[in-house]
Structures are given as C-alpha cells and as structure tokens.
C-alpha cells in the first residue's frame, strides 16, 4: 500500500490571477515565491510551498500534492497504481522545491501528486497578512463520500478519523485529525480549504484583519465536535470558502485507538466515532443554512 505521510500543497485555477495573488499575499499572508504570465507559487512564512495558482476559466481546485516517505520507490508506487487500474506519470520539477512527482487522477477527477523530496522556498519573512503556519486540509463535495473514502484508504493509506452522520467523513494520513474531508453533494467541487494558525490569539488577530479588509466571517468562531479545532470561515476573492483553525485533535497512538486527551473532550478516551449533527459544534453558532 502507498502510505501518504503529509499534505503538501494545493493547486487552483482562477479567472483572475492578480486578484488571487493579492488575496493570498495581502490577506492570507503567504509569501510569493515566483510568478510568471500564467501561474504563481506561494509559501508560508516558514518557507513551505502551500498554494499554486494557475489562470483558468473558472475557480476550482485542480490538484492536491502529498508527501510520501523519503525512501519510497517511485517504480513500486507506479506498479501499485497500475494494479489498481490507475494510469500514472512521472514529472520533473513541477513546482519550486519539488524535484519530481508521480501524478495520477483520483475518482473525483482531482489530479494527485506524490513526492519524496522537497526543500524550503520563499524568503521565510514575516507576513503582512494572516500568516498561517501550514496548509491543514482540503474538503470536497462528492456524490458518494463513502466510496471516495474507501479509495483513499485502499490506495493512499488514509484512515478514517470520524464521520458526521453518514454524509461527512474526516480522514488522516498522520497524527493530524484530518488532511482531507469528503461531504455528500450533488456534484464534485471543493467545499473549503483550511490553514492552520498558531493559537487562539492568532485566530482573533485574523478576524480583526478580515474586518479591516471588509471581509465578513461566514461562520465562527466555534469549536467543532469532530477534530475539536477552533475555527472561523470566510470567502476569498473567488468566493471559495477558507477555514482558519487551531487546536486540531492529534492521534498520538493509533494502537491504543484514541486521540491525545484534551480537557474539552466529552468522550474519555476520545475514539473515532460517528458524530450526530446535533453534537456539532461543541460551542459557537450553528452552521449557516447553506454550509453543509
């Protein structure tokens, strides 16, 4: 089995590249690594490549990139994909700091890139916007979340952390409670992208910055049930939903089957389970009517 270890970066198409770069640098607080006529690369203040933007006809997420073990064998990975009936290709220097990737398409049509080596990019300078620590997770609407979850389990080694009833699955590839989410929807599209912040004060400062930029909060602040992260949501220049979060659950010992204990856990120990909608969020306002 291929074992994904960490989410890397997400690639988006946008009708207005300049507005996208302005949002991610001036508001989100990423650092512009490089830009040419049709694309831009952005990193966190620690120098981690997080977002790649390309000019396109509509706003959507086209690719997700994941890190696998440094000693992973590309030939063996491609053989495993072929055994699943998945065509793949190897690409050289697809993005700054990434020397090569294996690329294939998942069942919902998103291009998946796997890489073993990376290097820091950007200037590692203080950001002028929010300044997230890293890309945390990406959530998609899909017609059948159970089917896509089984693909990510079988092919990429993800594990289910929690379900919200039968329509929202949270999946992990490392101690973070989730790196990808799948929600039931009538068509495939990104639901939201999430960036991890340092702490609750970072969340509060981010809300102040969004207010100065006249960008309204869509939901939050709140503490979720699944994952227990504190979060706020807003929309970017293209209307895409952006989550800022901190305090995400950590699965420290999977052999024991529970999450690293926290005072706000209601189950002791806290184990993966199916949550009910009435139990989410733990505190904070209920979701807007169109959120789910």
pLDDT category at 29 given cuts 50, 70, 90 is very high
What is the pTM for the complete model shown?
0.96
pLDDT of 129: 93
Contact, 292 vs 283, CB < 8 A? no
pLDDT category at 228 given cuts 50, 70, 90 is very high
pLDDT of 213: 96
Mean pLDDT over residues 278-287, rounded? 95
> Domain segments of the chain: what residues?
4-115, 134-253
**pLDDT: which is higher, 123 or 240:** 240
pLDDT tens digits for 209-226?
999 999 999 999 999 999
Q: Domain 4-115 is classified in which CATH homologous superfamily?
A: 2,3-Dihydroxybiphenyl 1,2-Dioxygenase, domain 1 (3.10.180.10)
Average pLDDT value for the chain: 95
Is residue 31's pLDDT more than 80? yes
Q: Which CATH architecture has domain 134-253?
A: Roll (3.10)
Mean pLDDT over residues 273-291, rounded? 94
Cβ neighbours, 10 Å, residue 225: 19
pLDDT tens digits for 76-130?
999 999 999 999 999 999 999 999 999 999 999 999 999 999 999 976 666 689 9
Phi, psi for 24 (deg, rounded to 5): -70, -25
Query: CB within 8 A of 182, min separation 6: which ones?
Result: 139, 140, 141, 142, 145, 148, 149, 168, 169, 171
pLDDT of 125: 62
pLDDT tens digits for 241-275?
999 999 999 999 888 888 999 999 999 899 999 99
Query: Is there a shared CATH topology between the 4-115 domain and the 134-253 domain?
Result: yes
pLDDT of 50: 96
Q: How distant, in Å, are the alpha carbons of 90, 91, 111, 180 from that of 99? A: 11, 9, 18, 24
């Amino acid at each position: 089995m291929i074992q994904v270890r960490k989410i890397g970066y997400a690639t988006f198409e946008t009708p207005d590249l300049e507005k996208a770069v302005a949002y991610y640098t001036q508001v989100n607080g990423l650092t512009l690594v490089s830009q040419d006529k049709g694309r831009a690369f952005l990193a966190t203040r620690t120098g981690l490549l997080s977002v790649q933007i390309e000019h396109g006809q509509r706003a959507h997420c086209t690719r997700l990139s994941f890190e696998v073990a440094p000693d992973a064998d590309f030939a063996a990975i491609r053989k495993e994909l072929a055994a699943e009936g998945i065509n793949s290709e190897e690409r050289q220097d697809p993005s700054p700091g990434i020397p090569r990737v294996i690329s294939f398409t998942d069942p919902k049509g998103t291009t998946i890139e796997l890489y073993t080596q990376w290097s820091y990019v950007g200037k590692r300078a203080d950001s002028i916007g929010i300044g997230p620590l890293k890309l945390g997770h990406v959530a998609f609407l899909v017609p059948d979340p159970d089917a896509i979850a089984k693909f990510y389990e079988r092919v990429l080694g993800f594990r289910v952390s929690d379900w919200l009833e039968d329509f929202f699955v949270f999946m992990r590839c490392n101690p973070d409670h989730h790196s990808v989410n799948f929600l039931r929807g009538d068509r495939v599209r990104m639901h939201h992208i999430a960036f991890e912040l340092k702490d609750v004060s970072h969340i509060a400062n981010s809300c102040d910055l969004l207010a100065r930029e006249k960008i309204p909060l869509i939901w939050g602040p709140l503490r979720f049930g699944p994952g227990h992260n504190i979060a706020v949501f807003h929309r970017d220049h293209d209307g895409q939903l952006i989550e800022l979060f901190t305090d995400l659950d950590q699965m420290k010992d999977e052999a024991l089957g529970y999450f690293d204990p926290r005072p706000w856990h209601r189950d002791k120990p806290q184990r993966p389970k199916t949550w009910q909608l009435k139990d989410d969020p733990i505190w904070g306002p209920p979701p807007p009517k169109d959120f789910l």
